[in-house]
Amino acid sequence: MIGTTISHYRILEKLGEGGMGVVYRAEDTKLRRPVALKFVSPRVLGSGEEQVRFLREAQAAAALNHPSICTVHEIDEADGLTFIAMEYVEGQTLRARIDSGPLSMDESARLASRIAEGLAAAHSKGIIHRDIKPSNILLTPTGQVRITDFGLARLSGTTEITRRGTMTGTLAYMSPEQIRGAEIDHRADIWSLGVVLYEMLTGRRPFRGERDGAVLYSILNEDAARPSDTRPDVVALLERVVFRMLSKDPSSRHADAEEVIDDLAGIASGEETIAPVAPTGGRESRPSVAVLPFADMSPDRDQEYFCDGMAEELINALTHVDRLRVSSRTSSFQFKGGGQDIRDIGRKLGVRSVLEGSVRKAGARLRITAQLVSCADGCHIWSERFDRDMEDVFAIQDEISLAIVDALRPELLGEERAKLVRHPTADPEAYNLYLQGRWFWKKRTHDGLMKAIEYFERAISVAPDFALAYTGIADSYNDLLDYSSSPPDDAFERARSAALRALEIDDTLPEAHASLGLLKSEHEWDWDGAEREFRRAIGLNPRYASAHQWYAHLLLNTVGPEEALEEYRRALELEPHSLSINRNYGYMLLAAGRDDEAIAVLRRTLEMEPDFIYTHLILAMVHALRGMFDEALAELLEEERVVGGWHPLVEGWRGIVQALSGSIGPAEDTLQRLIEVSSRGYVPASQIALLCFALDRRDEGFEWLERARTRGDAHLFLSLCMFRRRAFAGGDLRLAEFLAKLGLEP
């Protein structure tokens, strides 16, 4: 097939062959990019039912987007051949790396952690790989990991690659439950990763035999030799992690891939945090819980904000408990009002228990019911009803939180108990107003943000020392600079004043440090000060996803896109369903020049919320920079619909698309309209600068850039990546001078 063209792919060379079919390196003649084409063997596809299953699983895999997962571009059929077009990854397989000799402990732990990160992302979508092995792990020249063949293992056809029928996976890496043909879950992948980690450390598999039957017997009945028997320098802590992953009983393994990451991080930091585990397991995994939004059972159904706020406060409180893993807000809140089976929720979120409840408010009286349910069998672990006056709301939260902790029996230190019952304010009316403010803040609209500010200010009028309410004001005014087409001139000063006031009241509040860090980085260009604030916020609460997200924005400009993407991955691990984190992760990928991944992430964001602001706009940017101008204009029309009419950012990028596509006259007209509007209204100066550079009007472009710098333009911070991604300034030395004024390297 070398030299032929299938669909719009020109075959260049053969990369490999196996039970699934043949893999080639090819060129996408439409997008001018290298790809890997996997032609699936007709024998593998089998019957019509199996073909339908293959397509369903391949489509699910194509929806995955994570730096540790090889991106699937499309699944297609041409000339009677079914093929998958995937990201082409330069480098070698982990199989080849292991064959060259055992890896160091540090490298083994690092690679295993990266693989676990990819698995965690897949498992959160309900996708199990079923065939984790070294030949399905690609290593880039920079040491990054890419997992291939998601969703395909159960359809492979041979003993060496994958068995059809009751057993799915490569025999040497199969979990005991796979071999028995029992129902499997994400913990089967954890077993396989344990085999891979063992092999990285020792250069050989833990369960071996000359024939398949001997390997099968060893997996089911024998304990693996200790890695330290072969390699004495393997530390006991790492050995215990491997044996826990290789527990015959799935319930004795790590509860999820995130827990594997935690244990491997403990090795990297030298912290002895893992209790001893026998080679066959026997210790239950750490307790975990998801808190679902409480149902509003009030007569007027007007307490939704309070129900959501109640769940959020419980989540925040429980995250302070050592060894209790708490599902993030966005992960738990996806099941709001859905009526799903608790066992399904537990499987999707990877938790062992779920807290659900209801709120009924009549006058000043509250009736709150809460029940903790086991995800294993759907049975109640604990339930309680609380009848209280409104002013007892904090006492109710304390009772529920401490009762859950007691039911789950983690080790609770005195300091953790103090954190658990820490109240944001002593005034229930102020707290209620704060919850309503956060409700409106999450809408991310001009009207919603103004309404949020009103509620936060009312909360402060009732409780003047309510620090969290001040952070709400800071976040709302800061968002007005981003989400409003006409933000108030004093928004930045008000945001800054509110953040400083919050810190004056409580210097240990992570939200306040993160808010101040964002203001310092995006408006003051104080990179060192911003980094100190972000590090302080993360140190106070490592699970605060927004702090990781905003810190990534800083790293994008001060260090580079790869480091920024790494920080964004941490934010996504904590809040995998956050719309803003997913959308801005797409922007980070755009800044790094990883367009295909950016498009996949942005489309996934639109699947979660089709009208989430600026998502279509960023998609338009990707298309414009790739020369796909019709697609870019179509996305701009969609964004215009979402924002409800004319918007300076949409109009600015329409002009950029016109300029890049050669429609100079219309682009010049667009530029003049933006300049005219800016004389009497709000247009980000950085947006006009970008359009000037697209039209090669550099002198004007630098003039507008200088205005953006002196005015603290909220959009300049992220627009800077456009100059690195595409040379709008064409190598002009003045760009380096301008960046130097901001304290940045060219």
pLDDT tens digits for range 461-498 = 989 999 989 999 998 988 887 776 655 568 888 999 99
What is the pLDDT, as a whole number, of residue 166? Answer: 37
Which amino acid would we find at residue 325?
R
Structure tokens at 223: 């304990």
**Residue bearing the bigger pLDDT, 180 or 175:** 175
For residue 389, what is the DSSP state?
A: E
Structure tokens at 216: 């099968």
The answer to whether residue 334 is domain-embedded is yes
What is the pLDDT, as a whole number, of residue 670? Answer: 95
Q: Is 269's pLDDT higher than 50? A: no
Q: Is 319's pLDDT higher than 80? A: no
Query: How far from 90 is each of 67, 135, 138, 139, 144, CA to CA, in Å?
Result: 14, 14, 8, 8, 10
Query: Based on the domain organization, do 344 and 400 belong to the same domain?
Result: yes
**Residue bearing the bigger pLDDT, 33 or 142:** 33
Which amino acid would we find at residue 511?
E
Which of 392-396, 402-406, 571-575, 692-696 has the highest average model confidence (pLDDT)?
692-696
The answer to whether residue 119 is domain-embedded is yes
What is the Cα–Cα distance from 746 to 724, expressed in whole angstroms? 8
CATH number at residue 103: 1.10.510.10
Query: Based on the domain organization, do 182 and 252 belong to the same domain?
Result: yes
What is the pLDDT, as a whole number, of residue 460? Answer: 92
What is the pLDDT, as a whole number, of residue 85? Answer: 87
Q: How many domains would you assign to the chain?
A: 3
Q: Band of the pLDDT at 52, cuts 50, 70, 90?
A: low
Give the end of a domain, one of 87, 117, 135.
87
Query: Based on the domain organization, do 348 and 412 belong to the same domain?
Result: yes
Q: Band of the pLDDT at 199, cuts 50, 70, 90?
A: very high
Query: Based on the domain organization, do 256 and 299 belong to the same domain?
Result: no
Per cent of the chain over pLDDT 90 is 24
* pTM more than 0.75: no
Q: Band of the pLDDT at 309, cuts 50, 70, 90?
A: confident
Phi-psi region of 359 (alpha: psi -120 to 50; beta: other; left: phi over 0): beta
- Mean pLDDT across the stretch 129-142? 88
**Residue bearing the bigger pLDDT, 172 or 319:** 172
Query: Based on the domain organization, do 131 and 60 belong to the same domain?
Result: no
Q: Tens digit of pLDDT for each residue in 380-431?
A: 777 777 776 766 666 666 666 666 655 554 433 344 445 555 567 767 788 7
Q: Tens digit of pLDDT for each residue in 488-545?
A: 568 888 999 999 999 999 988 889 999 999 999 888 888 889 988 998 888 777 778 8
Return the closest-CA partner of residue 449 out of 439, 461, 459: 439
CATH number at residue 82: 3.30.200.20
Query: Based on the domain organization, do 128 and 233 belong to the same domain?
Result: yes
Which amino acid would we find at residue 49?
E
What is the pLDDT, as a whole number, of residue 156? Answer: 30
What is the pLDDT, as a whole number, of residue 730? Answer: 59
What is the Cα–Cα distance from 498 to 452, expressed in whole angstroms? 14
Q: Is 353's pLDDT higher than 90? A: no
What is the Cα–Cα distance from 450 to 25, expressed in whole angstroms? 54
Give the end of a domain, one of 205, 234, 269.
269
Query: Based on the domain organization, do 261 and 308 belong to the same domain?
Result: no
The answer to whether residue 200 is domain-embedded is yes
Which of 252-256, 305-309, 603-607, 688-692 has the highest average model confidence (pLDDT)?
688-692
Which of 14-18, 396-400, 688-692 has the highest average model confidence (pLDDT)?
688-692
Query: Based on the domain organization, do 359 and 312 belong to the same domain?
Result: yes
Q: Band of the pLDDT at 16, cuts 50, 70, 90?
A: confident
What is the Cα–Cα distance from 260 to 193, expressed in whole angstroms? 10
Query: Based on the domain organization, do 16 and 99 belong to the same domain?
Result: no
What is the pLDDT, as a whole number, of residue 615? Answer: 94
Q: Band of the pLDDT at 691, cuts 50, 70, 90?
A: very high
What is the Cα–Cα distance from 551 to 568, expressed in whole angstroms? 8
The answer to whether residue 121 is domain-embedded is yes
Under DSSP, is residue 14 helix (H, G, I), strand (E, B) or coil? Answer: strand
Lowest mean pLDDT: which of 54-58, 314-318, 403-407, 477-481? Answer: 403-407
Per cent of the chain over pLDDT 70 is 83
* Under 8 Å between Cβ of 476 and 514: no
Average pLDDT along the chain: 80
* Under 8 Å between Cβ of 420 and 321: yes
What is the Cα–Cα distance from 410 to 401, expressed in whole angstroms? 13
The answer to whether residue 45 is domain-embedded is yes
What is the pLDDT, as a whole number, of residue 19? Answer: 59
- Mean pLDDT across the stretch 634-645? 92
The answer to whether residue 137 is domain-embedded is yes
The answer to whether residue 507 is domain-embedded is no
The answer to whether residue 49 is domain-embedded is yes
Which of 187-191, 207-211, 407-411 has the highest average model confidence (pLDDT)?
187-191
**Residue bearing the bigger pLDDT, 158 or 381:** 381
Relative to beta strand 288-291, strand 295-296 is unpaired
Q: Tens digit of pLDDT for each residue in 84-122?
A: 888 888 888 999 999 988 888 888 998 999 999 999 888
* Under 8 Å between Cβ of 64 and 150: yes
Whether 131 sits among the annotated catalytic residues: the reply is yes
Q: Band of the pLDDT at 335, cuts 50, 70, 90?
A: confident
* Under 8 Å between Cβ of 318 and 326: yes
Which of 47-61, 140-154, 607-621 has the highest average model confidence (pLDDT)?
607-621
Q: Band of the pLDDT at 728, cuts 50, 70, 90?
A: low
What is the Cα–Cα distance from 11 to 24, expressed in whole angstroms? 7
CATH number at residue 299: 3.40.50.10610
**Residue bearing the bigger pLDDT, 399 or 208:** 208
Query: Based on the domain organization, do 293 and 253 belong to the same domain?
Result: no
Query: Based on the domain organization, do 83 and 106 belong to the same domain?
Result: no
What is the pLDDT, as a whole number, of residue 322? Answer: 61
Query: How far from 505 is each of 473, 476, 508, 533, CA to CA, in Å?
Result: 15, 19, 9, 16
- Catalytic residue (one of 28, 76, 79, 131): 131
What is the pLDDT, as a whole number, of residue 163? Answer: 35
Domain that holds residue 242: 92-269
Query: Based on the domain organization, do 265 and 316 belong to the same domain?
Result: no
Give the end of a domain, one of 63, 87, 111.
87
